[in-house]
Amino acid sequence: MFRLYVATVPPVRVEGDTTIISVVKEVLVVEKRLMLVEEIHLSKNRTETLTTVNETLRKEEVEINRIDLTTNNTTNQ
């Protein structure tokens, strides 16, 4: 069966010796749409707390930069 949804009734047309009359019927179309009901607004609050913690040091790195005061050259060791 041929089904095509149209907005208006198509006009009667003639093709050669044939007259074409479109037969239409109204049908109920159900749609599902999104409706905004409410909004939830979330805000971030940042809090800092200072605490002292005793920890065993597992690794320590030191970088020494020596400055030659006569030539202003810096060397890493």
pLDDT over 70 (residue 76)? no
- Residue 4's nearest CA partner among 32, 20, 25, 31 is 25
- Higher per-residue confidence, 74 vs 11: 11
Q: Is the pLDDT of residue 50 over 80?
A: yes
72 vs 54: which has the higher pLDDT: 54
DSSP secondary structure of 7-29? SSPPPPEEETTEEE---------
Domain boundaries, the chain: 8-32
Top pLDDT among 41 and 72 is at 41
**pTM to 2 decimals?**
0.38
- Amino acid in the structure at residue 40: I
pLDDT in tens, 12-35: 999 999 999 999 999 998 999 888
